[in-house]
Structure 1
Amino acid sequence: MSEQEQPTDVELDGATVENPATDAPVDAEVLQEITVESVQAELEVALAKIEEQQADVLRAQAEVQNIRRRSEQDVSKAHKFGQEKLMTEVVSLLDNLGRAVEAGKAEQATVDGLLEGVEMSQKMLLDGLKKFNVEQLDPHGEPFNPELHEAMTAVPNPDMEPNTVMEVFQKGYTLNSRLIRPALVVVSKA
Protein backbone atom coordinates (compact mmCIF):
# COMPACT_ATOMS: atom_id res chain seq x y z
CA MET A 1 0.00 0.00 0.00
CA SER A 2 1.19 3.51 -0.64
CA GLU A 3 0.91 6.30 1.89
CA GLN A 4 -2.22 7.65 0.24
CA GLU A 5 -4.01 4.28 0.48
CA GLN A 6 -3.22 3.64 4.19
CA PRO A 7 -5.98 4.57 6.61
CA THR A 8 -4.84 7.38 8.89
CA ASP A 9 -7.81 7.75 11.24
CA VAL A 10 -8.41 5.30 14.06
CA GLU A 11 -11.67 5.83 15.89
CA LEU A 12 -12.09 4.52 19.41
CA ASP A 13 -15.76 5.47 19.96
CA GLY A 14 -17.07 2.64 17.81
CA ALA A 15 -17.09 -1.03 18.69
CA THR A 16 -14.35 -1.91 16.25
CA VAL A 17 -11.18 -0.21 15.10
CA GLU A 18 -9.28 -0.95 11.97
CA ASN A 19 -5.65 -1.76 12.59
CA PRO A 20 -3.73 0.23 9.98
CA ALA A 21 -1.01 -2.43 9.76
CA THR A 22 -3.23 -5.48 9.18
CA ASP A 23 -6.58 -4.03 8.15
CA ALA A 24 -8.12 -6.46 10.69
CA PRO A 25 -10.81 -5.24 13.06
CA VAL A 26 -9.66 -4.87 16.69
CA ASP A 27 -11.92 -4.49 19.70
CA ALA A 28 -11.46 -1.03 21.32
CA GLU A 29 -11.71 -2.45 24.87
CA VAL A 30 -8.97 -5.01 24.14
CA LEU A 31 -6.80 -2.25 22.72
CA GLN A 32 -7.39 -0.16 25.86
CA GLU A 33 -6.73 -3.14 28.17
CA ILE A 34 -3.51 -3.98 26.40
CA THR A 35 -2.45 -0.39 26.55
CA VAL A 36 -3.36 0.07 30.24
CA GLU A 37 -1.86 -3.28 31.23
CA SER A 38 1.36 -2.68 29.32
CA VAL A 39 1.68 0.84 30.66
CA GLN A 40 1.00 -0.40 34.19
CA ALA A 41 3.64 -3.13 33.80
CA GLU A 42 6.15 -0.64 32.44
CA LEU A 43 5.34 1.68 35.33
CA GLU A 44 5.94 -1.09 37.87
CA VAL A 45 9.28 -1.93 36.22
CA ALA A 46 10.25 1.75 36.25
CA LEU A 47 9.25 2.11 39.91
CA ALA A 48 11.30 -0.97 40.81
CA LYS A 49 14.30 0.52 39.00
CA ILE A 50 13.82 3.80 40.85
CA GLU A 51 13.72 2.00 44.22
CA GLU A 52 16.85 0.06 43.31
CA GLN A 53 18.66 3.22 42.22
CA GLN A 54 17.58 5.05 45.38
CA ALA A 55 18.99 2.19 47.45
CA ASP A 56 22.23 2.38 45.43
CA VAL A 57 22.41 6.14 46.05
CA LEU A 58 21.90 5.65 49.80
CA ARG A 59 24.64 3.00 49.90
CA ALA A 60 26.97 5.28 47.94
CA GLN A 61 26.25 8.19 50.30
CA ALA A 62 26.94 5.98 53.31
CA GLU A 63 30.21 4.82 51.74
CA VAL A 64 31.25 8.43 51.06
CA GLN A 65 30.52 9.32 54.70
CA ASN A 66 32.56 6.33 55.89
CA ILE A 67 35.48 7.27 53.63
CA ARG A 68 35.34 10.88 54.83
CA ARG A 69 35.27 9.76 58.49
CA ARG A 70 38.17 7.34 57.95
CA SER A 71 40.25 9.95 56.15
CA GLU A 72 39.62 12.48 58.94
CA GLN A 73 40.75 9.87 61.46
CA ASP A 74 43.86 9.11 59.37
CA VAL A 75 44.76 12.81 59.17
CA SER A 76 44.22 13.17 62.90
CA LYS A 77 46.47 10.18 63.60
CA ALA A 78 49.10 11.50 61.19
CA HIS A 79 49.16 14.83 63.04
CA LYS A 80 49.21 13.12 66.40
CA PHE A 81 51.88 10.51 65.66
CA GLY A 82 53.68 12.02 62.65
CA GLN A 83 56.60 13.25 64.72
CA GLU A 84 57.12 9.94 66.52
CA LYS A 85 60.31 9.01 64.64
CA LEU A 86 61.76 12.49 65.16
CA MET A 87 60.99 12.35 68.85
CA THR A 88 62.71 8.95 69.08
CA GLU A 89 65.88 10.61 67.76
CA VAL A 90 65.53 13.52 70.20
CA VAL A 91 64.98 11.16 73.15
CA SER A 92 68.17 9.27 72.22
CA LEU A 93 70.03 12.59 72.23
CA LEU A 94 68.62 13.40 75.66
CA ASP A 95 69.87 10.04 76.92
CA ASN A 96 73.38 10.84 75.68
CA LEU A 97 73.32 14.32 77.18
CA GLY A 98 72.18 12.81 80.48
CA ARG A 99 75.15 10.44 80.40
CA ALA A 100 77.47 13.39 79.66
CA VAL A 101 76.08 15.29 82.66
CA GLU A 102 76.57 12.26 84.92
CA ALA A 103 80.11 11.82 83.62
CA GLY A 104 80.79 15.52 84.31
CA LYS A 105 79.73 15.05 87.92
CA ALA A 106 82.32 12.34 88.45
CA GLU A 107 85.51 13.52 90.13
CA GLN A 108 87.83 12.27 87.42
CA ALA A 109 85.91 13.95 84.60
CA THR A 110 88.05 15.84 82.16
CA VAL A 111 87.05 18.68 79.91
CA ASP A 112 88.23 16.67 76.91
CA GLY A 113 85.98 13.76 77.83
CA LEU A 114 82.96 16.04 78.29
CA LEU A 115 83.70 17.86 75.04
CA GLU A 116 83.94 14.56 73.20
CA GLY A 117 80.58 13.44 74.63
CA VAL A 118 78.86 16.70 73.67
CA GLU A 119 80.35 16.55 70.14
CA MET A 120 79.08 12.98 69.78
CA SER A 121 75.62 14.09 70.92
CA GLN A 122 75.67 17.00 68.47
CA LYS A 123 76.66 14.69 65.61
CA MET A 124 73.95 12.23 66.62
CA LEU A 125 71.33 14.97 66.59
CA LEU A 126 72.44 16.30 63.19
CA ASP A 127 72.41 12.78 61.75
CA GLY A 128 68.93 12.23 63.18
CA LEU A 129 67.69 15.51 61.71
CA LYS A 130 69.09 14.57 58.29
CA LYS A 131 66.80 11.53 58.32
CA PHE A 132 63.93 14.02 58.37
CA ASN A 133 65.42 16.21 55.60
CA VAL A 134 66.66 18.92 57.97
CA GLU A 135 69.94 20.36 56.68
CA GLN A 136 72.27 22.70 58.53
CA LEU A 137 73.49 25.86 56.77
CA ASP A 138 77.06 26.83 57.64
CA PRO A 139 77.86 29.49 55.01
CA HIS A 140 81.33 30.53 56.25
CA GLY A 141 83.36 31.76 53.25
CA GLU A 142 80.39 31.58 50.86
CA PRO A 143 78.86 34.54 49.01
CA PHE A 144 76.10 36.23 50.98
CA ASN A 145 72.64 35.00 49.94
CA PRO A 146 69.77 37.08 51.39
CA GLU A 147 67.38 34.17 50.83
CA LEU A 148 69.37 31.94 53.23
CA HIS A 149 71.38 34.38 55.36
CA GLU A 150 70.58 37.33 57.59
CA ALA A 151 73.40 39.88 57.79
CA MET A 152 73.96 41.12 61.33
CA THR A 153 76.66 43.56 60.28
CA ALA A 154 79.10 44.30 57.49
CA VAL A 155 82.81 44.67 58.28
CA PRO A 156 85.55 45.93 55.95
CA ASN A 157 88.00 43.15 55.09
CA PRO A 158 90.58 43.67 52.34
CA ASP A 159 91.45 39.94 52.35
CA MET A 160 87.93 38.83 51.27
CA GLU A 161 85.66 39.54 48.35
CA PRO A 162 82.85 42.00 49.19
CA ASN A 163 79.57 40.35 50.25
CA THR A 164 81.29 37.19 51.50
CA VAL A 165 80.27 35.59 54.79
CA MET A 166 83.16 36.19 57.20
CA GLU A 167 81.66 34.79 60.38
CA VAL A 168 78.57 32.79 61.34
CA PHE A 169 76.85 33.82 64.58
CA GLN A 170 74.14 31.21 64.30
CA LYS A 171 73.79 28.45 61.73
CA GLY A 172 70.65 28.25 59.63
CA TYR A 173 68.47 25.25 58.82
CA THR A 174 66.28 24.05 55.97
CA LEU A 175 63.51 21.47 56.05
CA ASN A 176 62.92 19.74 52.70
CA SER A 177 64.92 22.56 51.05
CA ARG A 178 62.65 25.19 52.62
CA LEU A 179 64.29 27.67 54.96
CA ILE A 180 63.15 27.29 58.56
CA ARG A 181 65.80 29.58 60.07
CA PRO A 182 68.30 31.82 58.27
CA ALA A 183 71.97 31.81 59.22
CA LEU A 184 72.97 34.93 61.17
CA VAL A 185 76.21 36.16 59.60
CA VAL A 186 78.83 38.90 59.40
CA VAL A 187 79.47 39.98 55.81
CA SER A 188 82.62 41.54 54.36
CA LYS A 189 82.40 44.88 52.62
CA ALA A 190 84.81 46.72 50.39
Structure 2
Amino acid sequence: MQRATALALLGLSALVLLPGSSSFSISPLAPPSSTSPLSTRAPPFAALGAPLLRSPHQTQGFPVLRMAEEGKESKEEEEAAPEAAAEEAAAEEEAPEEDPFAGLALDSPEFLKRKIEILEKELSDAQADTASLDDLVKRNILKTSSAAELKDTYIRLAADFENFRRRSATDLTNAKNAALTSVLKDMVTVLDNFELAAANVKPETDKEESIKSSYDALGKQLTNSLTKLGVVAIDPLGEEFNPMLHDAIQQAESTEYAEGKVCQALQRGYKVGEQTLRAAVVVVSAGPGPEGGEEPAKEEAAAEE
Protein backbone atom coordinates (compact mmCIF):
# COMPACT_ATOMS: atom_id res chain seq x y z
CA MET A 1 0.00 0.00 0.00
CA GLN A 2 2.77 2.43 0.94
CA ARG A 3 4.64 1.50 -2.22
CA ALA A 4 1.62 2.24 -4.43
CA THR A 5 1.17 5.59 -2.74
CA ALA A 6 4.81 6.43 -3.32
CA LEU A 7 4.55 5.61 -7.00
CA ALA A 8 1.51 7.81 -7.33
CA LEU A 9 3.32 10.69 -5.71
CA LEU A 10 6.42 10.31 -7.85
CA GLY A 11 4.43 10.38 -11.11
CA LEU A 12 3.71 8.17 -14.08
CA SER A 13 5.98 5.14 -14.49
CA ALA A 14 6.52 3.04 -17.58
CA LEU A 15 8.19 -0.10 -18.68
CA VAL A 16 11.29 0.65 -20.66
CA LEU A 17 13.21 -1.91 -22.60
CA LEU A 18 16.89 -1.21 -22.14
CA PRO A 19 19.04 -1.39 -25.26
CA GLY A 20 20.98 -4.63 -25.49
CA SER A 21 19.06 -6.14 -22.63
CA SER A 22 16.11 -8.51 -22.34
CA SER A 23 14.97 -7.12 -18.97
CA PHE A 24 12.59 -4.31 -18.18
CA SER A 25 13.13 -1.52 -15.64
CA ILE A 26 10.73 0.93 -14.12
CA SER A 27 11.66 4.52 -14.74
CA PRO A 28 9.70 7.41 -13.25
CA LEU A 29 8.77 10.26 -15.52
CA ALA A 30 9.89 13.62 -14.37
CA PRO A 31 7.63 16.61 -14.84
CA PRO A 32 8.46 18.52 -18.02
CA SER A 33 10.68 21.53 -17.57
CA SER A 34 10.79 24.48 -19.87
CA THR A 35 14.55 24.86 -19.25
CA SER A 36 15.47 21.23 -19.78
CA PRO A 37 16.73 20.40 -23.26
CA LEU A 38 15.02 17.05 -22.94
CA SER A 39 11.62 18.61 -22.31
CA THR A 40 10.84 18.67 -26.02
CA ARG A 41 11.68 15.00 -26.50
CA ALA A 42 8.99 12.35 -26.34
CA PRO A 43 8.99 9.96 -23.40
CA PRO A 44 11.25 6.98 -23.95
CA PHE A 45 8.31 4.60 -24.06
CA ALA A 46 6.36 6.68 -26.61
CA ALA A 47 8.07 5.16 -29.66
CA LEU A 48 7.64 1.68 -28.22
CA GLY A 49 4.17 2.17 -26.80
CA ALA A 50 2.58 3.55 -29.98
CA PRO A 51 3.15 0.42 -32.07
CA LEU A 52 2.11 -1.78 -29.16
CA LEU A 53 -1.13 0.15 -28.62
CA ARG A 54 -2.06 0.23 -32.33
CA SER A 55 -4.60 -2.36 -33.48
CA PRO A 56 -3.29 -4.79 -36.08
CA HIS A 57 -6.52 -4.21 -38.06
CA GLN A 58 -5.69 -0.52 -38.57
CA THR A 59 -2.93 -1.24 -41.05
CA GLN A 60 -5.40 -3.17 -43.25
CA GLY A 61 -8.04 -0.45 -43.53
CA PHE A 62 -10.40 -1.99 -40.96
CA PRO A 63 -11.37 -5.06 -43.03
CA VAL A 64 -13.47 -6.53 -40.24
CA LEU A 65 -15.51 -3.35 -39.91
CA ARG A 66 -15.77 -2.99 -43.67
CA MET A 67 -17.00 -6.59 -44.04
CA ALA A 68 -19.60 -5.98 -41.37
CA GLU A 69 -20.81 -2.84 -43.13
CA GLU A 70 -20.95 -4.62 -46.51
CA GLY A 71 -22.93 -7.46 -44.95
CA LYS A 72 -25.33 -4.95 -43.46
CA GLU A 73 -25.78 -3.17 -46.82
CA SER A 74 -26.31 -6.49 -48.61
CA LYS A 75 -28.94 -7.50 -46.07
CA GLU A 76 -30.69 -4.14 -46.47
CA GLU A 77 -30.67 -4.54 -50.27
CA GLU A 78 -32.13 -8.05 -49.98
CA GLU A 79 -34.86 -6.77 -47.69
CA ALA A 80 -35.61 -3.83 -50.01
CA ALA A 81 -35.69 -5.94 -53.21
CA PRO A 82 -39.11 -7.57 -52.56
CA GLU A 83 -40.57 -4.21 -51.60
CA ALA A 84 -39.26 -2.60 -54.81
CA ALA A 85 -40.63 -5.47 -56.89
CA ALA A 86 -44.00 -5.17 -55.18
CA GLU A 87 -44.07 -1.41 -55.79
CA GLU A 88 -43.15 -1.90 -59.46
CA ALA A 89 -45.88 -4.53 -59.89
CA ALA A 90 -48.41 -2.25 -58.21
CA ALA A 91 -47.39 0.61 -60.50
CA GLU A 92 -47.86 -1.61 -63.55
CA GLU A 93 -51.30 -2.66 -62.32
CA GLU A 94 -52.30 0.92 -61.63
CA ALA A 95 -51.03 2.14 -65.01
CA PRO A 96 -53.93 1.96 -67.49
CA GLU A 97 -53.39 -0.31 -70.48
CA GLU A 98 -53.24 1.47 -73.80
CA ASP A 99 -56.34 0.84 -75.87
CA PRO A 100 -55.27 -0.15 -79.43
CA PHE A 101 -58.70 0.91 -80.72
CA ALA A 102 -58.79 4.33 -79.09
CA GLY A 103 -60.43 6.93 -81.30
CA LEU A 104 -61.59 4.39 -83.90
CA ALA A 105 -65.23 3.83 -84.80
CA LEU A 106 -66.42 0.21 -84.65
CA ASP A 107 -67.60 0.25 -88.27
CA SER A 108 -64.59 2.10 -89.69
CA PRO A 109 -62.02 0.46 -92.02
CA GLU A 110 -59.22 1.53 -89.66
CA PHE A 111 -60.82 -0.44 -86.79
CA LEU A 112 -61.04 -3.59 -88.92
CA LYS A 113 -57.44 -3.24 -90.10
CA ARG A 114 -56.21 -2.82 -86.52
CA LYS A 115 -58.23 -5.86 -85.41
CA ILE A 116 -56.76 -7.97 -88.21
CA GLU A 117 -53.21 -6.90 -87.25
CA ILE A 118 -53.78 -7.94 -83.62
CA LEU A 119 -55.26 -11.31 -84.59
CA GLU A 120 -52.43 -11.98 -87.04
CA LYS A 121 -49.92 -11.39 -84.24
CA GLU A 122 -51.83 -13.75 -81.92
CA LEU A 123 -51.91 -16.39 -84.65
CA SER A 124 -48.17 -16.00 -85.26
CA ASP A 125 -47.49 -16.41 -81.53
CA ALA A 126 -49.69 -19.50 -81.47
CA GLN A 127 -47.77 -21.00 -84.40
CA ALA A 128 -44.50 -20.40 -82.59
CA ASP A 129 -45.92 -22.02 -79.45
CA THR A 130 -47.00 -25.06 -81.49
CA ALA A 131 -43.49 -25.50 -82.87
CA SER A 132 -42.16 -25.29 -79.32
CA LEU A 133 -44.68 -27.93 -78.21
CA ASP A 134 -43.48 -30.36 -80.88
CA ASP A 135 -39.93 -29.87 -79.71
CA LEU A 136 -40.90 -30.46 -76.07
CA VAL A 137 -42.74 -33.67 -76.99
CA LYS A 138 -39.73 -34.96 -78.92
CA ARG A 139 -37.53 -34.30 -75.91
CA ASN A 140 -40.02 -36.10 -73.62
CA ILE A 141 -40.48 -32.94 -71.58
CA LEU A 142 -44.17 -32.54 -72.37
CA LYS A 143 -46.79 -35.28 -72.43
CA THR A 144 -48.33 -36.09 -75.78
CA SER A 145 -51.86 -35.62 -74.42
CA SER A 146 -51.12 -32.09 -73.21
CA ALA A 147 -49.52 -31.22 -76.53
CA ALA A 148 -52.57 -32.54 -78.40
CA GLU A 149 -54.90 -30.37 -76.32
CA LEU A 150 -52.79 -27.30 -76.99
CA LYS A 151 -52.69 -28.11 -80.70
CA ASP A 152 -56.47 -28.38 -80.76
CA THR A 153 -56.64 -24.96 -79.15
CA TYR A 154 -54.34 -23.58 -81.83
CA ILE A 155 -56.39 -25.17 -84.64
CA ARG A 156 -59.59 -23.63 -83.27
CA LEU A 157 -57.87 -20.27 -82.97
CA ALA A 158 -56.62 -20.51 -86.55
CA ALA A 159 -60.11 -21.41 -87.80
CA ASP A 160 -61.70 -18.56 -85.87
CA PHE A 161 -59.13 -16.16 -87.25
CA GLU A 162 -59.73 -17.31 -90.83
CA ASN A 163 -63.49 -16.84 -90.41
CA PHE A 164 -62.95 -13.43 -88.88
CA ARG A 165 -60.61 -12.43 -91.71
CA ARG A 166 -63.25 -13.35 -94.28
CA ARG A 167 -65.93 -11.45 -92.39
CA SER A 168 -63.58 -8.51 -92.01
CA ALA A 169 -62.84 -8.47 -95.73
CA THR A 170 -66.57 -8.41 -96.45
CA ASP A 171 -67.20 -5.74 -93.82
CA LEU A 172 -64.31 -3.68 -95.17
CA THR A 173 -65.73 -3.87 -98.68
CA ASN A 174 -69.17 -2.89 -97.43
CA ALA A 175 -67.70 0.02 -95.49
CA LYS A 176 -65.87 1.26 -98.59
CA ASN A 177 -69.03 0.92 -100.67
CA ALA A 178 -71.05 2.80 -98.05
CA ALA A 179 -68.53 5.65 -98.04
CA LEU A 180 -68.45 5.69 -101.85
CA THR A 181 -72.25 5.65 -102.02
CA SER A 182 -72.48 8.65 -99.72
CA VAL A 183 -70.12 10.64 -101.94
CA LEU A 184 -71.75 9.54 -105.18
CA LYS A 185 -75.20 10.59 -103.97
CA ASP A 186 -73.92 14.13 -103.54
CA MET A 187 -72.25 14.06 -106.96
CA VAL A 188 -75.46 12.83 -108.61
CA THR A 189 -77.35 15.74 -107.07
CA VAL A 190 -74.81 18.14 -108.58
CA LEU A 191 -75.24 16.43 -111.95
CA ASP A 192 -79.02 16.94 -111.70
CA ASN A 193 -78.46 20.65 -111.20
CA PHE A 194 -76.21 20.81 -114.27
CA GLU A 195 -78.82 19.06 -116.40
CA LEU A 196 -81.61 21.25 -115.03
CA ALA A 197 -79.62 24.39 -115.82
CA ALA A 198 -78.79 23.17 -119.32
CA ALA A 199 -82.47 22.46 -120.02
CA ASN A 200 -83.69 25.88 -118.89
CA VAL A 201 -80.96 28.22 -120.09
CA LYS A 202 -81.65 29.64 -123.56
CA PRO A 203 -78.60 31.60 -124.77
CA GLU A 204 -79.37 34.61 -126.97
CA THR A 205 -75.89 35.93 -127.68
CA ASP A 206 -72.61 34.36 -128.62
CA LYS A 207 -71.20 35.15 -125.18
CA GLU A 208 -74.09 33.39 -123.46
CA GLU A 209 -73.67 30.45 -125.82
CA SER A 210 -69.98 30.27 -124.86
CA ILE A 211 -70.87 30.26 -121.16
CA LYS A 212 -73.46 27.53 -121.69
CA SER A 213 -70.92 25.44 -123.60
CA SER A 214 -68.47 25.74 -120.70
CA TYR A 215 -71.11 24.53 -118.23
CA ASP A 216 -72.04 21.67 -120.56
CA ALA A 217 -68.38 20.63 -120.69
CA LEU A 218 -68.24 20.56 -116.88
CA GLY A 219 -71.38 18.44 -116.81
CA LYS A 220 -69.84 15.94 -119.23
CA GLN A 221 -66.68 15.73 -117.13
CA LEU A 222 -68.77 14.99 -114.05
CA THR A 223 -70.71 12.32 -115.95
CA ASN A 224 -67.47 10.68 -117.11
CA SER A 225 -66.11 10.70 -113.56
CA LEU A 226 -69.25 8.96 -112.29
CA THR A 227 -69.00 6.37 -115.07
CA LYS A 228 -65.39 5.59 -114.10
CA LEU A 229 -66.56 5.01 -110.52
CA GLY A 230 -69.08 2.44 -111.73
CA VAL A 231 -72.20 4.60 -111.65
CA VAL A 232 -74.83 3.50 -114.17
CA ALA A 233 -78.02 5.42 -114.98
CA ILE A 234 -81.34 3.65 -114.52
CA ASP A 235 -83.55 3.98 -117.60
CA PRO A 236 -87.01 2.94 -116.30
CA LEU A 237 -89.28 3.94 -119.18
CA GLY A 238 -91.29 0.94 -120.44
CA GLU A 239 -89.87 -1.39 -117.76
CA GLU A 240 -91.94 -3.39 -115.33
CA PHE A 241 -92.25 -1.54 -112.05
CA ASN A 242 -89.49 -2.68 -109.68
CA PRO A 243 -89.71 -1.29 -106.14
CA MET A 244 -85.95 -1.83 -105.75
CA LEU A 245 -85.18 0.47 -108.68
CA HIS A 246 -88.25 2.67 -109.07
CA ASP A 247 -90.02 5.11 -106.78
CA ALA A 248 -93.63 5.42 -108.01
CA ILE A 249 -95.38 8.61 -107.01
CA GLN A 250 -98.63 7.95 -108.88
CA GLN A 251 -100.51 5.84 -111.42
CA ALA A 252 -101.93 7.22 -114.64
CA GLU A 253 -103.94 5.92 -117.56
CA SER A 254 -101.82 5.24 -120.58
CA THR A 255 -102.63 4.07 -124.06
CA GLU A 256 -98.95 3.55 -124.84
CA TYR A 257 -97.82 1.29 -121.98
CA ALA A 258 -99.52 -1.70 -120.46
CA GLU A 259 -100.70 -1.71 -116.90
CA GLY A 260 -97.91 -2.05 -114.35
CA LYS A 261 -95.22 -0.60 -116.55
CA VAL A 262 -93.43 2.71 -116.14
CA CYS A 263 -95.07 5.20 -118.47
CA GLN A 264 -93.19 8.31 -117.40
CA ALA A 265 -89.80 9.02 -115.75
CA LEU A 266 -89.71 12.18 -113.63
CA GLN A 267 -86.18 11.83 -112.26
CA ARG A 268 -83.34 9.63 -113.43
CA GLY A 269 -82.08 6.93 -111.11
CA TYR A 270 -78.57 5.56 -110.61
CA LYS A 271 -76.98 2.38 -109.33
CA VAL A 272 -73.47 1.15 -108.51
CA GLY A 273 -73.07 -2.49 -109.36
CA GLU A 274 -76.07 -4.24 -107.82
CA GLN A 275 -76.64 -1.48 -105.25
CA THR A 276 -79.21 1.20 -105.97
CA LEU A 277 -77.67 4.60 -105.53
CA ARG A 278 -80.91 6.47 -106.09
CA ALA A 279 -84.25 5.08 -107.26
CA ALA A 280 -85.82 6.61 -110.34
CA VAL A 281 -88.95 8.67 -109.69
CA VAL A 282 -91.63 7.34 -112.05
CA VAL A 283 -95.31 7.22 -112.96
CA VAL A 284 -96.79 3.74 -113.40
CA SER A 285 -99.35 2.97 -116.10
CA ALA A 286 -102.84 2.01 -115.00
CA GLY A 287 -103.80 0.78 -118.50
CA PRO A 288 -105.46 0.14 -120.80
CA GLY A 289 -102.27 0.14 -122.91
CA PRO A 290 -101.88 0.22 -126.70
CA GLU A 291 -104.64 -1.25 -128.83
CA GLY A 292 -102.33 -3.31 -130.98
CA GLY A 293 -100.28 -4.46 -127.99
CA GLU A 294 -97.12 -2.82 -129.30
CA GLU A 295 -95.38 -0.28 -127.09
CA PRO A 296 -93.18 2.51 -128.41
CA ALA A 297 -89.47 1.98 -128.33
CA LYS A 298 -87.49 3.62 -125.53
CA GLU A 299 -85.69 5.87 -127.98
CA GLU A 300 -88.95 7.17 -129.44
CA ALA A 301 -90.49 7.71 -126.01
CA ALA A 302 -87.41 9.56 -124.82
CA ALA A 303 -87.46 11.74 -127.94
CA GLU A 304 -91.10 12.61 -127.35
CA GLU A 305 -90.35 13.64 -123.76
**Same structural fold, with TM-score higher than 0.5 when normalized by the shorter chain:** no
Structure 1 or 2: more helix by fraction? 2
TM-score by structure 2 length?
0.29
Structure 1 or 2: more strand by fraction? 1
State the structure with bigger RCO (CA 8 A, min sep 6), 1 or 2.
1
TM-score by structure 1 length?
0.42
